[in-house]
Chain A
Amino acid sequence: MSEGFFSRGFRGRRRQQAQETHLPPGQYLVDGFPVLSAGPTPRTPLEEWDFSIVGEVDEPKTWAWEEFRELPSEEITTDIHCVTKWSKLGTRWEGVSVDTLLEEVETAAEYIVAFCDGGYTTNLPLDDVTGGKAWITYSYGGEPLEPEHGGPARLLVPHLYFWKSAKWVRGLRLVTEDEPGFWESLGYHNYGDPWREQRYWGD
């Protein structure tokens, strides 16, 4: 419908090519770290915090904070892409690979629902959180993850739009049928691949 249209007088600001190639379509670079959330910032004391794997598993698993911190961790440097259009390159995180957590359980599930303090949920195919593609992070830029960015712990799935990287995550529920999460029920794309610009339903 809008093929061939251009915006009279718009030139735009082209980035250096090296940066441009790291940006999915429709994204722009930011230096800061915008804060977006759907509700108030929950503050769970670490002594009450735990992380669980539940749902379609042979036996649910739960780690208290101290136990969780003793799991082998990885350092991750990655680009992140928010559906509201900003991208940030080369962010540094530390956390536990979801592979490490799932080693502890047996499952026939094909999807997961990440659940969080505050009631937020997001859904992902199991294949998108295994094979070194997702982590439960507790450190950002060498510092403990701040509550406004999802601390004490945040799911990190950098190959999908950043709403999939759920803040204040408390566990993963393994399910055999896909269940749309919070934003996925409110008009946002069920999968959310930034390189295919899957922002909204039908994209």
Chain B
Amino acid sequence: MAEIRARGRLLWRIGEVVETRPETPRTRSLFLEVPGWEGHKAGQHVDVRLTAEDGYQAQRSYSIASAPEDRRLTLVVERLEDGEVSPYLTDVLRAGDGLELRGPIGGWFTWEAREGGPLLLVAGGSGIAPLMAMIRHRAAARSDAPTRLLYSSRSREDAIYAEELDHLSAEDRVLEVTHTLTRSQPPGWTGYSRRIDREMLEEVGWPSEERPLRLRLRPDTAGRDGGDGARRTRT
């Protein structure tokens, strides 16, 4: 079981947005500097609170996509058409703005390099965020834990971090990335083109004898609900 931080109140504080960057047509990364940030574990999330001038507030949870080793705290936000908070974060918020948050939160859906592998990481859409934190942490810590990622996106252009994942897996023999593209596929696509199912998990995953640690995020809860809607099992 992961270690847990000392009991103390999680205070609201204001991070500064130092950069925002579109990742895909529907998602944007927010890079934050948070004064006094104590660090986090890969897989944890933060609560974000927006306050209107008349005092009206709205809160949501977002997984942290950056590694503990990274200098800036990174969130990746998927714009939900009927959303109240996500369109503000993707369309209105810009460098120089403050963003109120508290965290890091969640002591279960986490992975640290010293826990080793093998690892099976499974996510859809913006659910990649906490798993990306693990993959980035794994690289920063020079971990050689054998790792497989199964990642479901609507199309190639909707696959967040696709280039970084290509790059990381090209230089790392024990990091394997498998995409499934559920709505449209580029010409000549030979990979999966359906939603993640049991058969796919068996083909991509590790045999149970290897006792893999499986970290899985459902596409419909991922990202927005932080790591806590997620499944973490070792069989």
Which residues of A come within 8 Å of B, CB atoms? 1-2, 5-14, 25-26, 28, 34-40, 83-85, 182-183, 185-187, 199-203
Contact = CB atoms under 8 A, between A and B. Distances in A.
Interface in B6-53: 7-14, 47, 49-53
Interface of B: 4-5, 7-14, 47, 49-53, 56-61, 84, 88, 92-93, 97-100, 105-108, 218, 220-221, 224-226, 228-233
A26 B59 contact: yes
Contact of B97 (A8, A11, A200, A203): A8
Given A85-B59, A187-B4, A38 B53 contact: no
A200 B104 CA distance: 11
A52 to B, nearest CB: 25
Contacts of B97: 7-8
A182 B232 CA distance: 13
Given A200-B10, A200-B105, A5 B98 contact: yes
Given A1-B11, A28-B58, A84 B92 contact: no
Given A40-B231, A200-B10, 12 more contacts: A2-B13, A12-B52, A13-B58, A28-B60, A34-B220, A35-B220, A36-B228, A36-B229, A39-B232, A183-B228, A200-B105, A201-B7
Nearest to B60: A85
A25 B55 CA distance: 12
A139 to B, nearest CB: 24
A2 B47 CA distance: 14
B94 to A, nearest CB: 9
A12 B230 CA distance: 28
A38 B229 CA distance: 7
Given A10-B51, A202-B9, A36 B225 contact: yes
25 contacts: A1-B11, A1-B12, A7-B99, A8-B92, A10-B50, A10-B51, A11-B52, A25-B57, A26-B49, A28-B59, A28-B60, A38-B231, A38-B232, A84-B226, A85-B61, A182-B108, A183-B228, A185-B107, A186-B4, A186-B108, A200-B10, A201-B7, A201-B9, A201-B10, A202-B10
Nearest to B9: A202
A156 B231 CA distance: 22
Contacts of B232: 38-39
Nearest to B102: A200
A1 B13 contact: yes
A202 B11 CA distance: 9
A90 to B, nearest CB: 21
Contacts of A10: 50-52, 58, 88, 92
A11 B221 CA distance: 25
Contact of B231 (A6, A37, A83, A186): A37
Contacts of A35: 218, 220-221, 229
A34 B230 CA distance: 12
A36 B221 contact: yes
A70 to B, nearest CB: 35
A7 B52 contact: yes
Nearest to A36: B229
A11 B52 CA distance: 5
Contacts of A187: 4-5, 105-107
Contacts of B58: 10, 12-13, 28
B53 A6 contact: yes
Nearest to B35: A1
A14 B60 contact: no
A14 B57 CA distance: 9
Contacts of B60: 28, 85
A40 to B, nearest CB: 6
Contacts of A185: 4, 107
B229 A84 contact: yes
